Amino acid sequence: MLVGIGLVAAAAVVGSRLLQPQASVAVETDLHAVVIDQLSPEDPNTSLRSAVREDMEGFGLEVVEFEGDAVTVGTYRSLGGLVPSVLLVRSHSGILRLEGDDEQHITALFTNEPYSKTKYVTEQLRDRVLIVRRHEQDEQLKFGVSPLFILHGMEENLSRTVAIIAGCSCLGRTDLAEAFRARGASVVLSWDQPVSLDYLDRATEYLVDALLAQEMTIEDATVLTMAEFGSDPEFGAILLYYPPAAGRYTVAELVQ
């Protein structure tokens, strides 16, 4: 079982898996996007949400949004059933230390569902559902989900999803990205270390626009975003994507 805190330093991303999407394909009009905004309503950003929705709808995606108390373990459990071509998660996250003798770490996405020792008991014991809090002084414990939950707790597979995770340290390790990949995602874009919220929101809005409105490749959109904003001024986080082989493709090519 884990009690985790969201801001933990991370390691480098390595490795890749070859992708073989079709090239130069048109985006279908019945594709979907899912936005999970765990940071709302405590840290709302209506201008980011509006800009992201505009880019997604302009790309031909029907948008489904979850925010506040609607961001639960069940939201992630049912994610595959929503068939997202593009997934944007704006959330507290981090690399957590496992309790025990061995020094082990695992990446976690936070939910807004209050912790209860009587819920998800088996999944807690298997480190699929975690106990998380934003910082050491925070007395409000919430549930988080781990890569093991993505692997074994989701009810359906993803469908070549392009996943953008606006949160801390989600590509400091590859465990979460590998779990999304194993369940069908084409690529995961995120930051490698803790990241400040204002920087994160501005960079995420720019990245989504580059990917969807400007239809850049994953690599070009990532490079352009880093050129525009640089690394996070407070923590030094940089934007990465996984696997590296996805870099030469656009979203339209990856989701088909």
Decide if pLDDT at 85 tops 90.
Answer: yes
* Helices 218-229 and 197-208: angle between axes, nearest 10 degrees: 140
Domain ranges of the chain: 3-7+28-255
pLDDT value, residue 26:
40
| Residue with more model confidence, 135 or 189 | 189
Decide if pLDDT at 13 tops 70.
Answer: no
Alpha helices in 84-237 (DSSP H): 121-125, 147-152, 175-182, 197-208, 218-229
Decide if pLDDT at 247 tops 90.
Answer: yes
Q: What share of the chain is helix, strand, coil (3-state, %, to 5)?
A: 30, 25, 45
pTM of the model: 0.88
Nearest Cα residue to 113 out of 104, 105, 98, 123: 123
* Cα 51–Cα 56–Cα 57 angle in degrees, nearest 5: 100
Q: How far is CA 82 from the centre of its chain?
A: 16
Kind and range of the H or E run holding 110: strand 105-114
The per-residue pLDDT of the chain, averaged, comes to: 90
Give the position of tokens 């996943």: 163
Fold for the domain defined by 3-7+28-255: Rossmann fold (3.40.50)
Lowest mean pLDDT among 74-78, 135-139, 170-174, 227-231: 135-139
Q: What are phi and psi of 174, to 5 degrees?
A: -100, 5
- What percent of the chain clears pLDDT 90, i.e. is strictly above it? 82
Decide if pLDDT at 101 tops 70.
Answer: no
Decide if pLDDT at 24 tops 80.
Answer: no
Range 195-210 average pLDDT = 98
Question: What are the pLDDT digits (tens) for 39-74?
Answer: 998 999 999 999 999 999 999 999 999 999 999 999
Task: Give 98's pLDDT tier (boundaries 50, 70, 90).
Answer: confident
pLDDT value, residue 138:
82
Residue 161 CB-density burial (10 A; 0-12 exposed, 13-18 middle, 19+ buried): buried
Q: Alpha-carbon distance 255 to 238, whole Å?
A: 25
Decide if pLDDT at 37 tops 50.
Answer: yes
